[in-house]
Structures are given as C-alpha cells and as structure tokens.
Amino acid sequence: MQIWDTAGQERFQSLGVAFYRGADCCVLMYDVNNAKSFEALENWRDEFLIQANPRDPDSFPFVVIGNKIDVEDSKRAVSTKRAQAFCASKGNLPYFETSAKEATGVEQAFEVVARNALQQEDAQDFSQEYSDAININLDSDSSSCAC
Amino acid sequence: MSSYSATAATRRGSVVPPLSGIESNGAQNPIPQKCDVLISGTGLVESILAAALAWQGSSVIHIDPNPYYGDSNSCFNIDQLLAWVDRVNRPPSSSELAAERIFSNARLYMPRPLDSKKFLVDLSPKIMFARSDLLSLLIKSRVFRYLEFKALGNFHTYENDTFDKVAGSKEDIFTDQSLSLVTKRNLMRFMKFVLEWEENTELWKPYQNESIEKFLTEKFKLEPQQITELVLSIGLCQSLEVATPVALSRIKRYLVSLDIYGNFPVLFSMYGGAGELAQGFCRSAAVAGATYKLGTAITSVDDKLVTLNDGSRIQVAEKIVLSPSSAVKKENTKNGILTRLVAFVAKDCKEWFAENEQAALVVFPPSTLSTNNKTSVQAIILGSGSGQCPEGVSVWYLSSTEQDPTKAQRDLEEAFTKLEASILRESTEDFEFENIDESDVSYRPDGMPVLSSVKLGQSMQNFVPREKLQYLLKLSFVEKVEYSAQPDAPILPEETPEASPATVLRAPYGLSEISYDGILTQVKNLYTKIVGSDDDFFDVDFEDEDEASAGANQTNSSAPNAIDASTVNQIDSRDDDIDEFGQDMEL
C-alpha cells in the first residue's frame, strides 16, 4: 500500500492525471481553523472524481479529516457538526478529527483509510481481467514478481 | 491577480471550478521570486532534469505553457486530442511566427464520437528494455512506484507476407523447426559472441565501418532471414546498413534484457509512455521541493530576470531551460522527422500477443512493403490491458523514420493495411477465397484508403475476409526529432559536454528511437551544462530520505514526502545479474 500526498503540486493546481490514477481511497483533509480549506473540499472531491474516473463514483471511498485540533478553541472556524453534515450529505463519508502535531486520532483515521482502500481494491480486482503488472524492483520484498 | 481561474477554465476543457488553496488564510502563495533553475516544458527530458536538479539541491521552478503535463510526450484523451489536432493544424498567428512547432500535418479520422476518457492517444509511445539505464534510474529514484509496467514478449517480423514471431532466445532457436542444424549452430555461435562483443574486438574491428549485414554474412555465415530478424527486430535497427558496432550493441541490449523479469525483453508503462514517466519524475521533483505551475508560459527574458504570463517575475540564479516547444524556432540547424500513424481498432488482436500479455511489436523491414520502403516501419500494438482503450479494442502505433514525409505516409499506410489483413486472416474462422482486382481498391476523398482496399500481397491475394475491420480512430502526424547522421546511434555514449556559459539552454528534440535509450544521455548533457559535471546525478541515498521523512512525519503532517507504507527496500544495481546471464548462455 502506498500513501501519496500532493507534494506541493496542488499549490498551483498542477496535479497531473497520473497522480489520481488507480487510487483505491481518497483522503480529503482540511484545517479546522481555516473555513476556506473546508469549503474547498467539495471542489477537491469533484476534481478527484473527474480525474481518477473511478468505475463507480457514487461508492468510491473518501475519508474526510479535520486536522490541527491542537490549536486553541478560539481559533476554530469549522465546527464538528458542520463537517459531519457535509460528510452525511456526500453519502456518509467517514469523518475524523486529528492533530498530526500531537498524533491524536491519526491512527484511527488511517486504519479506516487502509480498510476502505483494501475493500475497494478487492472489488476492482474481481472485475479486472488483466492484473498482470510487473514489479520492476527485483530486490523488493513488498510484493512478489508477477512472472 | 486571478490568473488561476483563467487556467482552470481552459484546463482539460473540464467543468472543474477553480480549486481554492488550502494555504493558511486561504490565500494563494505567489510563485517564488527567485530560483536557481527555471524550466519550461514538462516533457520527459525536462522532467528527469527537474528531478535530478531538485534532488541535487538546486531550487527549481518548473512550468509548462500547456494546462497538462508531458509537452511533446503527452498522452491525450479524445477531447484533448481534438484540441491538440486543431492547434497543430492552425496557421501560426503573427505573434507565434517565431515559435517552434514540433508537430505538423496532423490528420484525424474519427467516424463517430468516442467516449473521451476511455481512449488515450500517446504522442510518443515507447518501450523499455528490462536492462536499460532509464529503468535503473526509475528504481534508484523510486519513481517506479508511481507507475505500472507490463510485459511485451512478442516481436514479429513481417516477411513474405507473414508475421513470423522472432526466435529471440536460445530455447526458441533450439525448438524452431524451420531452422537447419547448420543455421542453428551459426546462430548459437553468434548469440554467444554478441554477449561479449565489446571484448572480442579482433572479430569486429575490421568491420567497424562496415554494415552489420556484411559482418554477419562473412563472419557468422548467417542467412538473410536470420540477419533481418537479428538486426531489424531484435536490434530494432532501421536498416541492414547500420554500422557493425551500433547493431551489435543493439542486439545485445535485447538479449541481456531477456529473463530479467520473465520471458520477455521489454516493458511498457500503462496509460502512456514518456508522458507518464514525465509525471512520475515531476512528482519526484516536487517531493524534493521543486515548484510546479502548469498553464504558465515565459513572456520575456531580460538577462536572468524572467517574466511569466501570470505577471510574476523570477530572478534566475543559474539557467533557464526551454523544451523545444517552449523555445523559438531553431534556425540553420538540421532536424529529422518521425512520421506516426495511430489507430484504434475494434479487435483485441490477442493473436499477436504472448500468453497473458497485452502488447506486441511488429517490424516491417526495408523493401518488404509494396512501397519499397527504405527504412523499417515499426509498430507497437497495445491491448486494453494498457489502460489506453476499452476491452475488445486495440491501439496500433506505427512509426517511420523515412525522411521524405510523403513517402513515410505511404509506407505507414501500406504497413497498416498489412496489419489489417493479417489480423483479419488470423482471427477469422471461415476463410473464403475469391479473386480481387484493382477495381476493389478505393480511396476516400481525403486520400485515406478505404478499409478493404488493400493491395494484397501474394499469400493474401485470395483471402477476402467476411468481416471488415472497424477502426474507431485513425491519426497521422509528423514530429521534428533530433537529426542523426547515423540512425540508431544514440545508444552509444556521446562525448561529455562542458558547463555552458549561456543562460538559456534549449533541450533537444525527441529521438526517433522506439525505446527510451538515448534519453538519459540527453538529460545528462543538459545537467552537465548546468551543474558542471554529472558526477552527482541522482546521487541521493533515498534510504536516508525515507528515514528522515518518517521521523519528520511524526511531528509534521505537511512534510512533502511520499510515505511508502510497504517495507523500505534495498536498491541495488543489477550488474551482477547480467554477468550471470552471460554465463547461462554458455552452450
């Protein structure tokens, strides 16, 4: 399993189509102290669905994470309730609040990400006729060579 | 300055609203005001260069005038392709007169609209030898993790109107019933020699300026058919006139690539070739800190101060690198041309693929077509497993290095009809023999021959398939490529360039070579002109990078590193394996 972040290429909307290909799960993350970052989630979700072009867009697993909950309450700009309402409206997306800085909630969130990704992968393999990719890194022990 | 909405509006012609940044306060950070190297164009050469420089420690800004990655190496869906064809064929406006045009003469035939996202057209389809410099770099740089590779085992040679599968391995030669015992022995002797040809100078030195054909005939007593297969299919040379050492290195390339990942010599990447690799290297560059901005072009360069079309100004400390399509027209220099014919065909073409594979290569050697072709026509056939077309469809990429564009077009059309007739013959159950004459040949008003208008070769003369081949899309175009006095030569090392005093460097044109070989040489030449030498080219210990980022990620979620949840793997050069393979070949 690989987890990719946007590596800064999102800054000027310069994520290439290759970035989205073959994803089994998409994590939408925002800053709970920044309303704009929350409001952008819907656009990111649309962009993902257009670029990744998944077989069944309605059931594609997204996970929403509100980060930076360690920052003092007075700075908080997006309430849990508002975030949950958004997730409910998008087909009951799992929602987590985390502090990456203090490692709060990160493990639970990524466990769900991993679980949903695996489920999605299984569902796809079943319908995919050719899953015959070659692992070109011969010294790798992460997965066996297809040949 | 709201340049982003304009970009997003033209971007992929999609309905995506402009994405708000997730930066603090929601404000977009402006592009950095200074950098070491500014690169325009995201073709494969520029993208590998960006990653190499970023990992070497240079601050890199990488832009592309197009709203997509890949430059002249892009892979397009149908909507993008239609826009691209329009652009290629549009006469230049007065402001564009000086601009370089890489592509010309794009002709598209699409009888019916196609589901845009289900078809991908690769502007520069390439194959990768299992033992090659770029593949090693993909592993070393870890960019391979962003890509998916599949096998291509079948190399076919078109001769006497049939497609022979090339006997490329020791086992194939042993089991090939059509070869005489003497021929087998001669072939085996050659196979053994070629794996160590560099050391056996006394044998080929007298022939170093002679053709490979002469060398193989005189020194190994090989028959014309074996020579054709070795040189043109296995070696993928353009003609039998190629100089002996060039051809030997190319034949060896195939043999040492066999059995590294399985019983096939080459791989191809899914969803597109060089353009997909370019995106992988751009991501790697971004991880190393390079700044990316698509849909952005240079409007002026004043010494080392660059102005972009979004209004920003960048002070460049070292160099400005322009891809050929980002540069002004190159005057007084020679370039070559490569002519391509691409078709989506409503047949899976599995008859040509090896078991469990989704790709094949077909070579039409010189003088095998009725157009009396001077150079080979090479074709890459990809099935739906390539991710470039739906099931039941295949995509055919034919290319010709013939330098007369009219003749190149005729060679390609003729090879296309041979492929067509062959797949119908091979996939049809019920043969029907009838006579066919010249009156059956017809051409559409635009000059494209109509489906069954094949000038049939001898053994196909009486074959009239009941079904007709339906093609969903047919595209031809001409690309400017590096001029090469000696075709097939880029595989040999060039002399190392020195650091360049010029601020603006122009990246080279693409290569007509069907594999990725030669591309890293192009990149390293540029790298040396910027850095001074290529000693530290991708000299990064990614083990340490991973550990450092793993540590950083515990405390800082915004560390811009890819996290690989799988075990961190040791990366080694595979030189040792090659030696073992050489010993295996002992007879």
Taking the CB of residue B494, how many other CB atoms lie within 10 A of it? 12
Same domain, B240 and B287: no
Q: Which of B27-36, B45-54, B327-336 has the highest mean pLDDT?
A: B45-54
B294 lies in a domain? Answer: yes
Distances (CA, A) of B219 to A84, B182, B226: 78, 14, 14
Q: Which of A1, A11, A103 sits opposite B565 (nearest CB)?
A: A1
Residue where one domain finishes, among candidates B257, B285, B317: B257
The residue-averaged pLDDT of B104-122 equals: 95
Quote the CA–CA distance of B205 and B245 in Å, as a whole number: 9
Question: What is the structure's pLDDT at B501?
Answer: 81
| Cα atoms in the 13 Å half-sphere on the side-chain side of B316 | 27
pLDDT category, B547, cuts 50, 70, 90? low
Q: What is the pLDDT of residues A66-114, one digit of tens each?
A: 999 999 999 999 999 999 999 999 999 999 999 999 999 999 999 999 9
SS3 label, residue A30: strand
| Inside any domain, residue A13 | no
> What pLDDT sits at residue B328?
84
**Which of B148, B263, B264 to mutate: most A Cβ within 10 Å?**
B148
Model-level pTM?
A: 0.85
> For position B62, what pLDDT does the model report?
98
Average pLDDT estimate for B245-258:
95
**Does A58 reside within a domain?**
yes
In a domain, B83, yes or no: yes
Provide the pLDDT confidence category of residue B545 given band limits of 50, 70 and 90. low
CATH number, residue A108: 3.40.50.300
Check pLDDT > 80 for residue B5.
Answer: no
Please tell me what DSSP assigns to residue A134. Answer: B
Cα atoms in the Cβ-side hemisphere of radius 13 Å centred on B463: 24
Q: Is A39 on the interface with B (CB under 8 A)?
A: yes
B356/A34 Cβ within 8 A: no
Do B286 and B229 have their domain in common?
A: no
pLDDT of residue B61: 98
- Asked whether the beta carbons of B220 and B190 are under 8 A apart, the reply is yes
Q: Which residues pair with A99 in a beta bridge?
A: A104
Q: Does the beta-carbon distance from A141 to B279 stay under 8 Å?
A: no
User: Does the beta-carbon distance from A8 to B555 stay under 8 Å?
Assistant: no
Contact: A14, B294; criterion CB under 8 Å: yes
Task: Give the Cβ contact number of residue A124 at 10 Å.
Answer: 15
Q: How far is B448 from chain A (nearest CA, A)?
A: 33
Give A63-76 pLDDT, tens digit per residue.
Answer: 999 999 999 999 99
The reply to whether A145 falls in a domain is no
Residues of A in contact with B138 (CB under 8 A): 136
Please tell me the distance in Å from B577's CA to the nearest CA on chain A: 11
pLDDT at B252 exceeding the cut of 80: yes
Could you tell me if A57 lies within 8 Å of chain B, comparing CB atoms?
no
Task: Say which DSSP state B19 is in.
Answer: P
The pLDDT of B316-330, averaged and rounded, is: 92
Reported as a single tens digit per residue, the pLDDT across B130-182 is 999 999 999 999 999 999 999 999 999 987 667 777 777 777 877 777 788 89
pLDDT of the residue at B115 = 93
CA pair distance B407, B373, nearest whole angstrom: 8
Percentage of residues in chain B with pLDDT exceeding 70?
78
Q: Let me know if residue B330 belongs to a domain.
A: yes
- Is position A130 within any domain? no
DSSP-derived letter for residue B17 is: P
Q: Which pLDDT score is estimated for B161?
A: 67
* pLDDT at B28 exceeding the cut of 90: no
Q: Is residue B231 part of a domain?
A: yes
Owning domain of residue B214:
169-257
* Same-domain status, B49 and B84: yes
Query: What are the tens digits of pLDDT across the range B347-368?
Result: 999 999 999 999 999 999 999 9
Q: Within a domain: residue A91?
A: yes
Q: What percent of chain B has pLDDT over 90?
A: 65
| pLDDT of B434 above 70 | no
Q: What is the C-alpha to C-alpha distance for residues B306 and B298, in angstroms, rounded to an integer?
A: 7
- Domain span at A107: 23-123
Please give the pLDDT value at position A143.
44
List CB contacts (< 8 A) between A7 and chain B. Answer: 283, 286-287, 560-562
Report the chain A residue with the minimal C-alpha distance to residue B24. Answer: A34
pLDDT score recorded for residue B551: 47
Instruction: Determine the Cα–Cα distance for residues B522 and B525; give it in Å rounded to an integer.
Output: 5
Could you tell me the CA-to-CA distances from B429 to B293, B424, B426, B465, B467 in Å, in that order? 54, 9, 8, 10, 10
The amino acid sitting at B17 is P
DSSP string for B211-279 = BHHHHHHHHH---HHHHHIIIIIIS--S-TTSBHHHHHHHHHHHHHHTTSSSS-SEEEETT-SHHHHHH
Strands (E), B41-161: 60-64, 75-76, 103-109, 121-122, 128-129, 149-152, 154-159
Interface check for A13 against chain B (CB to CB < 8 A): the answer is yes
Last residue of a domain, one of B209, B224, B257: B257
* Counted domains in chain B: 2
Residue A80, domain member (yes or no): yes
Tell me which chain B residue has its CA closest to the CA of residue A103.
Answer: B554
B184-234 pLDDT, tens digit per residue, is 899 999 999 999 999 999 999 999 999 999 999 999 999 998 999 999 999
Whether residue B291 lies inside any domain: the answer is yes
What pLDDT sits at residue B244?
Answer: 95
Residue A69 lies inside a defined structural domain of this protein:
yes
Taking residues B107-113, what's their average pLDDT?
A: 94
Structure tokens at A129: 């006729």
Nearest by Cα to B126 from B48, B50, B73: B73
The CATH number given to whatever domain includes residue B81 is: 3.50.50.60
Across B44-48, B190-194, B557-561, least confident range: B557-561
Distance CA B385, CA A60 (A): 22
Q: Which of B205, B226, B257 is the last residue of a domain?
A: B257
Coil/strand/helix, residue B563: strand
* Run of H or E including B417: helix B405-427
Average pLDDT over residues B327-346: 88
Tell me which residue has tokens 């026509």.
B377
Which tokens belong to A10? Answer: 């999102």
B455 pLDDT band, cuts 50/70/90, is very low
Quickly tell me which residue has 């109509």 as its tokens.
B450
B453 has pLDDT over 80: no
Q: Does A55 touch chain B (CB under 8 A)?
A: no
- The percent of chain A in helix, strand and coil, each rounded to the nearest 5, is 40, 15, 45
B65, pLDDT greater than 50: yes
pLDDT score of B454 more than 70: no
Closest to B135 (Cβ–Cβ): which among A16, A136, A145? Answer: A136
- Interchain CB distance below 8 Å, B287 and A7: yes
pLDDT at B483: 80
Q: Give yes or no: residues B246 and B324 share one domain.
A: no
Query: Has residue B100 got a pLDDT over 80?
Result: yes
Q: Which residues from chain B sit within 8 angstroms of residue A147, using beta carbons?
A: 151, 261-263
B541 pLDDT more than 90 = no
Is B525 in a helix, a strand, or coil? helix
pLDDT at B448 over 60: no
Contact B138 A136 (CB under 8 A): yes
Question: For residue B281, what are the contacts with CB-CB under 8 A and spacing of at least 6?
Answer: B44, B47, B48, B50, B51, B141, B143
Closest Cα in chain B, distance from residue A47 (Å): 6
Could you tell me if B201 and B281 lie in one domain?
Answer: no
Confidence tier at B330 by pLDDT (50, 70, 90)? confident
Q: Is residue B44 included in any domain, yes or no? A: yes
Q: What is the pLDDT of residue B274?
A: 97
The one-character DSSP state at A2 is: E
pLDDT of residue A98: 97
What's the pLDDT score for residue B548?
A: 57
Q: What is the dihedral of CA B163, B168, B172, B177, to 10 degrees?
A: 50
Q: For B502-516, what is each residue's pLDDT tens digit?
A: 899 999 999 999 999
Alpha carbon of residue B149 to chain centroid: 14
Structure-token pair, residue A105 = 């909630």
Residues B249, B277 within the same domain? no
Q: How many separate domains does chain A show?
A: 1
| From A8, A139, A147, residue closest to B571, measured CB to CB | A139
At B92 the pLDDT is 86
B175 & B250 share domain? yes
Q: Is B131 on the interface with A (CB under 8 A)?
A: no
Q: Which of B11, B22, B145 to mutate to test the interface with A (most CBs of A within 10 A)?
A: B22
Region of B23 please: left (phi>0), alpha (psi -120 to 50) or beta.
Answer: beta
Which chain B residues are Cβ-neighbours of A1 within 8 angstroms?
565-566
B177-191, B426-440, B458-472: least confidently modelled range: B426-440
Mean pLDDT (whole number) for B49-72: 97
Evaluate whether residue B475 is within a structural domain. no
- Which strands form B359-364's sheet, in the order they lie side by side? B103-109, B471-482, B335-345, B394-400, B377-382, B359-364, B154-159, B162-165
CB of B152 within 8 A of CB of B361?
yes
Of B117, B280, B292, the CB nearest to A53: B117
**Residue B200: CATH number of its domain:** 1.10.405.10
Interface of A with B in 85-124 (CB under 8 A): 100-101, 103, 114
Chain A nearest-CA residue for B290: A8
pLDDT for position B555? 40
